[in-house]
Amino acid sequence: MQNLPFGIFSTQKLRDRRAGVAISDKVLDLKAVSKAGLFTGPILSKSAGPGGCFDQGTLNSFASLGQPAWKEARYTVQHLLSATESILRDDHQLQADCLVPQEEAIMHMPVSIGDYTDFYAAKEHASNMGALFRGKENPLCPNWVHLPVAYHGRSSSIIISGTDVRRPRGQVHGGGEGPPTFQPCNVMDFELEMAVIVGPGNADGTPIPVDQAEEHIFGLVLMNDWSARDIQRWEMLPLGPFNSKNFATSISPWIVTLDALEPFRCSAPQQEPEVLPYLRETNRGNYDIPLQVAIQPEGTQQPHTVTRSNLRHLYWTLPQMLAHHTAGGCNLRPGDLIGSGTISCPAEDGKGCLAELTAGGKVPTSIGGKPYRFLQDGDAVTISGLCEKDGLKIGFGNCIGKILPARPGPV
Amino acid sequence: MQNLPFGIFSTQKLRDRRAGVAISDKVLDLKAVSKAGLFTGPILSKSAGPGGCFDQGTLNSFASLGQPAWKEARYTVQHLLSATESILRDDHQLQADCLVPQEEAIMHMPVSIGDYTDFYAAKEHASNMGALFRGKENPLCPNWVHLPVAYHGRSSSIIISGTDVRRPRGQVHGGGEGPPTFQPCNVMDFELEMAVIVGPGNADGTPIPVDQAEEHIFGLVLMNDWSARDIQRWEMLPLGPFNSKNFATSISPWIVTLDALEPFRCSAPQQEPEVLPYLRETNRGNYDIPLQVAIQPEGTQQPHTVTRSNLRHLYWTLPQMLAHHTAGGCNLRPGDLIGSGTISCPAEDGKGCLAELTAGGKVPTSIGGKPYRFLQDGDAVTISGLCEKDGLKIGFGNCIGKILPARPGPV
């Protein structure tokens, strides 16, 4: 009753994709709720009818309506499901029409993603990766403490949790003077991330002020930015990662709103040196979201947790990312995806990717008593996130992907 | 009759956006041609009816149909407009319905762009920029001769020729130990590019072989990848350009097909060292497309040509770009935009951006007798392209943008 995340689902019987809200072991079918005329608030009574914002294959239209609409939907759903409200409680046919067992729901991409941006907002990750890629003397580039570094990613290959991920082939260079080879990636990694789904967005040329940025966050999902480190190392100079990232990025299906996360607001790391005024926040904060990554090699009985981190460690907050992204005039559109970058934290098991956990493969970690460096074919990677406080639980579910062997391919 | 480029237009009277073909000073309204039942070929008799591929606000659906459909449309249009064919020639009402004077046509974005990628495929540009950004000792990164370097760009801020471009504000660092400032871009540049509009595209995980890549090229447009060099210099390490590019990218409205360009096929620069097998082409070639850039400062009487280059100089060909882009499994979708990177050539006036033309501002060029370094407010930049041979002309029209002053903004 507190989480109420939004997603897009279908079932064997209900073939058309539609909007839903997860409630314990059920999904509330918002298309059916709309059809029954139960969205009676000022915004959704107009926007949620047939063909309206819940009767579409994506949540882009609902995301574009903004915070007042999201709050209205949340209020209506809470009201409908409250013990004292009889409309749904006492109408068994309506219950059957509106509530679907979660195991019957087939989850789909919650939004059509126009553009996907990935930030690099955790200081531990940027320092660890900088040390690996450029050496320990200057792990952080000079700009890193002044602006949230980011790059544009690939929208077309973003996939929903549960979709298998094929190991890419690509150019790899062993160092020295010889030519590169084209081969299956040999240094396959996950990246533990979370991502913003953008709400209304901004017009081209009109920046989003940092103190208004939360109004443009429809909600958060878990994300795994699969990375082919050997391809990345060779290709990324001077314009950044390309084929090492664009083969697949997985997201979890349920979008958790900031309203649901409000009880878990917490402080964010202090920034030193002080940032420029357009990045200064009146109420700076993060969210306390414990995150885990588990790997289950094929043929083993259970997943093995390799990483425990938390969104609270992000040096650059979500509002700072949106403010910086739009500061030069770039427009965000409803449904755009904005990744946090890998969320590493200072703890020894708090590193958000295998490159960090194994010092670039030099110091293996251990799974099932065996040394483990990078992802093997058949390995399933599960990212999960669960906030808990005073009996209140807000879960993100899972973001899962399993590695398939590389295709036979050109040399 | 030979060019027949495709675009999306409306007029004051015909408010719905629709597909058109440019023919001398007219636009043939393909929606009207469809409505009159004149697409009688095997593919378009099915796909071009009401609500079909020409009765939409974009050409994505037509692009997805592939080469056979593009050739069929071209054949039908050539047939309809031939002197010996009476259907259109003798029916004045039909002529009035189908042919619109080009000056009445309002041009729109020809496709909805899912993803935008920009390559870096001209050796002169990569060398010149490498020398400016990293020093003259090693202007080309070691990977450059082995793979076509590229980065993902921003789709949301791609605009149609004629749209003004607002000078962005952003973080700039003057060098040394001090902090950066947030200010209007002071080193504003154009980039002379051409871009592929993708046709059918490929499924996730299924690379496009280099010898089949032309089947996935719906056509070409001119492109100006506006660049804020001072913002770029500070932000681009280690993940590539971001806010220095994502405020605006302009494209020309008419998509010229490879069928129209066939007479202008020419050889491409020899590649040394030899590339890996997945990038080796059976019939390697470029297109001989002369390109110009002209700048007209506000208050002056005429544009001043600053650059003369040619697509033929690209070291990496368009098929090599598509093959590399998909080699790791990345999927391209109909309507995706793939830029060539700045097209510089060895000639002194053959440099495709002001950073190169003025050696980073150190050696000004001259416009109207005055020294000129970077774009000023009010300057209009026009990129044009025109192929000529034996009396045959294939024109790309213009890609125009005018610089507006920066908004007053946060510090």
- Look at strands A392-404 and A165-166 and give their pairing: parallel
Question: Taking CB atoms and an 8 Å cutoff, what residues of chain B touch A185?
Answer: 328
CB contact under 8 A, A151 and B239: yes
Q: Are A206 and A196 in contact (CB under 8 A)?
A: no
**CATH homologous superfamily for B116-404?**
Fumarylacetoacetase-like, C-terminal domain (3.90.850.10)
Question: Taking CB atoms and an 8 Å cutoff, what residues of chain B touch A205?
Answer: 166, 247, 407
Position B175 scores a pLDDT of 87
Residue B274, token pair as written in the block: 């030899």
Quote the Cα angle for B320-B324-B326, to 5°: 120
Q: How many CB atoms lie within 10 A of CB B409?
A: 18
Minimal CA separation from B370 to chain A, in Å:
29
Phi and psi (nearest 5°) for B263?
-65, -15
Minimal CA separation from A154 to chain B, in Å:
7
**What DSSP string runs through A77-117?**
HHHHHSTT-HHHHT-HHHHHHHEEEGGGPEEE-SS--S-EE
* Number of helical (H) and strand (E) elements in chain B, helices listed first: 11, 25
* Three-state secondary structure call for residue A170: strand
Minimal CA separation from A72 to chain B, in Å:
29
Taking residues A177-187, report their average pLDDT.
95
Sequence-distant (6+) residues with CB within 8 A of A229 are A185, A187, A188, A189, A244, A355, A360, A374
Residue B56 has pLDDT above 60, yes or no: yes
Give the domain ranges of chain A: 6-108, 116-404
CB contact under 8 A, A151 and B180: no
Taking residues B64-76, report their average pLDDT.
98
pLDDT tens digits, A78-133: 999 998 999 999 999 999 999 999 999 999 999 999 999 999 999 999 999 999 88
Question: Taking CB atoms and an 8 Å cutoff, what residues of chain A touch B150?
Answer: 239, 242
Question: Taking CB atoms and an 8 Å cutoff, what residues of chain B touch A143?
Answer: 171, 173, 180, 234-235, 237
Position B411 scores a pLDDT of 55
Residue A273 has pLDDT above 70, yes or no: yes
Position A30 scores a pLDDT of 98
**Residues in binding site of B for Ca(2+):** 118, 191, 193, 225
**What DSSP string runs through B95-125?**
HHHHEEEGGGPEEE-SS--S-EEEE---HHH
Residue B1 has pLDDT above 90, yes or no: no
How far is CA B74 from each of CA A401, B46, B213, B255, rounded to the nearest angstrom?
Answer: 45, 16, 20, 13
Position A135 scores a pLDDT of 86
Phi and psi (nearest 5°) for A312?
-60, -20
Residue A410 has pLDDT above 80, yes or no: no
* Percent of residues, chain B, with pLDDT higher than 90: 93
CB contact under 8 A, A241 and B237: no
Which chain B residue has the Cα nearest residue A227?
B328
* Percent of residues, chain A, with pLDDT higher than 90: 93
Sequence-distant (6+) residues with CB within 8 A of B90 are none
Position B371 scores a pLDDT of 96
**Residues in binding site of A:** 118, 120, 134, 191, 193, 225, 232, 245, 249, 342
ipTM surpasses cut 0.95? yes
How far is CA A388 from each of CA B125, B250, B323, rounded to the nearest angstrom?
Answer: 54, 48, 48
pLDDT band at A409 (very low <50, low <70, confident <90, very high): confident
Taking residues A393-399, report their average pLDDT.
97
Taking residues A151-159, report their average pLDDT.
98
Total residue count of chain B as it appears in this document: 411
d(CA B163, CA B313): 29
Q: Are A86 and A36 in contact (CB under 8 A)?
A: no
Question: Taking CB atoms and an 8 Å cutoff, what residues of chain B touch A409?
Answer: 207, 278, 327
Choose the mutation target among A58, A127, A138, A156 for the interface with B, i.e. most B CBs under 10 Å. Answer: A156
Name the residue among B209, B196, B161, B212 with its Cα closest to residue B335: B196
Domain B6-108 identical in fold to domain B116-404: no
**Residues in binding site of A for substrate:** 120, 134, 232, 342
Choose the mutation target among B151, B244, B322 for the interface with A, i.e. most A CBs under 10 Å. Answer: B151
d(CA B35, CA B346): 50
Residue B115 has pLDDT above 70, yes or no: yes
Position A411 scores a pLDDT of 55
CB contact under 8 A, A332 and B156: yes
**What DSSP string runs through B37-75?**
T---STTHHHHSSTTSTTSSSSSHHHHHH-HHHHHHHHH
Position B410 scores a pLDDT of 65
Minimal CA separation from A241 to chain B, in Å:
7
Catalytic residue from among B108, B125, B173, B325: B125
Taking residues B288-313, report their average pLDDT.
97
Total residue count of chain A as it appears in this document: 411
d(CA A9, CA A98): 13
Sign of CA dihedral A225, A231, A237, A239: negative
d(CA A70, CA A43): 10
Taking residues A181-196, report their average pLDDT.
98
Reported as type and span, the H/E element at residue A322 is: helix A318-326
Q: Nearest by CB to B143, which of A146, A235, A333? A: A235
Domain A6-108 grouped into CATH 3.40.50.300: no
Position A138 scores a pLDDT of 85
Three-state secondary structure readout of A324-392? HHHCCCCCCCCCCEEECCCCCCCCCCCCCCHHHHCCCCCCCEEECCEEECCCCCCCEEEEEEEEEECCE
**Residues in binding site of A for Ca(2+):** 118, 191, 193, 225
Radius of gyration of chain A measured on its C-alpha atoms: 22
Residue B59 has pLDDT above 90, yes or no: yes
Residue B173 has pLDDT above 80, yes or no: yes
With b meaning 16 or more CB within 10 Å and e meaning fewer, what string describes B341-365?
bbbbbeeeebbbbbbbbbbbbeeeb
Residue B401, token pair as written in the block: 């943008």
Reported as type and span, the H/E element at residue A321 is: helix A318-326
Minimal CA separation from A396 to chain B, in Å:
26
Taking residues B390-398, report their average pLDDT.
97
Reported as type and span, the H/E element at residue B150 is: strand B150-152
* Three-state secondary structure call for residue B381: strand
Catalytic residue from among A125, A216, A313, A324: A125
- Catalytic residue list contains A125: yes
Position B299 scores a pLDDT of 92
* Three-state secondary structure call for residue B89: helix
d(CA B232, CA B172): 8
Residue B176 has pLDDT above 90, yes or no: no
Reported as type and span, the H/E element at residue A130 is: helix A123-134
Taking residues A285-301, report their average pLDDT.
97
Position A71 scores a pLDDT of 98
Question: Taking CB atoms and an 8 Å cutoff, what residues of chain A touch B332?
Answer: 156
